[in-house]
Amino acid sequence: MIKDHFLFYSRQIDKNKVLLDKYEKHHAVSVLRAAPGDEICVTDGSGSIYGCTVDSVAKDKMSCLIKQQDKTVRTSPCITAAVGLPERAAFEEILQSLTALGVRTIVPLITDHCRKPWWEKWQKCINRFDDKMVVAMKQCLYPYLPDLKSPVLFRDFIAGAAASKLLVADQYGVSIKDSLLKTSESIHCLIGPPGGFAEQENEVLQNRGIVKVKLASNRLRTELAAVVFCSQVIGFLQ
């Protein structure tokens, strides 16, 4: 019953054929014992799920024939999570959790309190980040990958989000219910880095008229705040 319980990912999908790369092929064959004639489900990460039959298995790939295609409706609301960059391992946790929640866009924010600028080697990390999101997508069986942006300066992000509904996690803010009484389908959730936003950044947010949202009685770490924030918004609006 591979088809019913597992989701594979491929970047190589043609009109009637799917190729699984070495990693996906290894999982299908070595772990799940997939063989020619078995049925599997494959996604392209943009909402489509392809019902396929395994056609052939080679050393570094698996070829499958597409039998049907279904489009999964994307969950709402449309959330952009803008997160002040923590350490890389913590950021990877954020990517996996927000992928599972169905967040549309993830924006890494470079703020005054961000430490150890590992993101200066962003291009060397991007493949690993993609892999982390793919794993989360497959595990939750939700066939959408978030749009992961390159790191952006805090002030540039705020300037570019002028027309959006902006919420920021803050220990002294209002409840999710009070912050979303009047809102659009598109919401930007801002989460500060470890140490929070700097004084000048908070002044920018205050002048922008942003809504501060209290997530818990205590102050939360960046990676936990990102998950709690987005899940509370989704839970309230759904």
Is 143 found in the same domain as 200? yes
The residue out of 53, 71, 89 marking a domain boundary is: 71
The residue out of 71, 88, 114 marking a domain boundary is: 71
Is 9 found in the same domain as 44? yes
Residue 21 belongs to domain with CATH number: 2.40.240.20
Residue 204 belongs to domain with CATH number: 3.40.1280.10
d(CA 100, CA 146): 10
Is 158 found in the same domain as 135? yes
Residue 193 has a pLDDT of: 96
Is 169 found in the same domain as 123? yes
Is 96 found in the same domain as 63? no
Residue 1 has a pLDDT of: 42
Instruction: Kindly report the length of the chain.
Output: 238
> Measured between alpha carbons, how far is residue 57 from residues 27, 65, 69 in Å?
12, 12, 22
Q: Report the relative pairing of strands 48-57 and 78-84 from DSSP bridges.
A: unpaired
Tokens 């919420």 sit at which residue? Answer: 167
Is 42 found in the same domain as 154? no
> Measured between alpha carbons, how far is residue 221 from residues 39, 139, 203, 216, 228 in Å?
42, 24, 22, 11, 10
The residue out of 39, 71, 103 marking a domain boundary is: 71
Is 231 found in the same domain as 200? yes
As for how many domains the chain has, the answer is: 2
What domain range includes position 11? 2-71
Strand intervals (E) in 73-134: 78-84, 105-110
> Measured between alpha carbons, how far is residue 17 from residues 62, 66, 67, 68, 229 in Å?
10, 6, 9, 11, 40
Averaged over successive runs of 10 residues, the pLDDT of the chain (238 residues) comes to 76 93 92 92 95 93 95 90 97 98 97 94 96 96 96 93 83 85 77 95 90 92 96 88
* Count of C-beta atoms within a 10 Å radius of residue 203: 11
Tokens 């978030």 sit at which residue? Answer: 146
Residues 6+ apart with CB under 8 A from 209: none
Residue 156 has a pLDDT of: 94
Is 179 found in the same domain as 106? yes
d(CA 138, CA 61): 18
Question: What is the chain's Cα-based Rg?
Answer: 20
Is 115 found in the same domain as 158? yes
Is 93 found in the same domain as 58? no
